[in-house]
Amino acid sequence: MRTHELVLRQVEADLAAGRLRLGDRLPGERALAGQLGVSRPSVREAIRVLEAMGVVRTAVGSGPDAGAVIVAEPASPLTATLRLHLATSHLPMGDIVQTRVLLESWAVREAAGRAEPEELAAPRHLLDAMDDPELPRERFHLLDAEFHVALAALAGNVLVATIMASLRDAIHGYVVAAAADLPDWNATVDMLRQQHRAVLAAVASGEGERAAALVADHIEGFYRTARLA
């Protein structure tokens, strides 16, 4: 067992036992090293891994926000991991698109049956913001991603929403690059806006199957148009 893994194991045990909770601060690197009888570099390596997994956030300086704080950000590590493996070309874009379709279809079908009307306000505001004709493309894509994540969140499953957000983030760069080559951006945007509205309306009226079919068409259609999959 390498030394930094020992530190990791200790922190994980503290988390599982409730000795460390969300918002708590880890002891300082020097203190932790002393407590566990290891050197500071080993502690630092462990903290880097925790940081990469979205379990802690580090900040320099003093005060309540400084140091290594326990957070819960499972999305960012998933994104980074997917992006890296996408870079190595061992994760086909087609599989990612297919997974998105599968997760989002399920999410809207589920959401149609359980989402309260007031929960629909968040995605609706995003759509309103996307109606702005002056919106830069980059901003449109970001709002688009947010809308899909908000939609997935309606299903009430943290894991699915997290995976969705990660998938969308990981391919964001590819989407922006591909969209730049589209022959008629304005027409594409109008179509996307209509499809978004249609999906949300189906969810609002409780038509789960219809919402699922619409969102699947929407996603597959875009990637086909952008020649990404």
Partner DNA sequence: CAGCCATGTGTGGTCAGACCACAAGGTATC
Partner DNA sequence: GATACCTTGTGGTCTGACCACACATGGCTG
Residues making contact with a copy of itself (CB under 8 A) = 4, 12, 15-16, 21-22, 41, 44-45, 48-55, 70, 72, 74, 77-78, 80-85, 87-88, 90-92, 95-96, 98-99, 102-103, 106, 157-160, 163
Using CA atoms, how far apart are residues 149 and 226, in angstroms rounded to an integer?
A: 21
* CB burial of residue 197 (10 Å; 0-12, 13-18, 19+): middle
How far apart are alpha carbons 143 and 47 in whole angstroms?
Answer: 33
Query: CB of 53: closest distance to a copy of itself in angstroms?
Result: 5
Hey, what amino acid is at 36? L
Separation between Cα atoms, residue 22 and residue 125, nearest integer Å: 30
Measured from the CB of residue 65, what is the shortest distance to DNA in angstroms?
Answer: 6
Residue 2-41 contact track with DNA, rule CB under 7 A, x = bound: xxx---------------------x-xxxx-x---xxxxx
> Going residue by residue from 167 to 206, which x/- string records binding to DNA, judged by CB under 7 A?
----------------------------------------
For 41, other C-beta atoms within 10 Å of its C-beta total 12
CB of residue 194 vs a copy of itself: minimum separation in angstroms?
27
- Note whether 79 and 166 are within 8 A (CB): yes
Residues at the contact surface with DNA, assessed by CB under 7 A: 2-4, 26, 28-31, 33, 37-42, 44-45, 47, 58-68
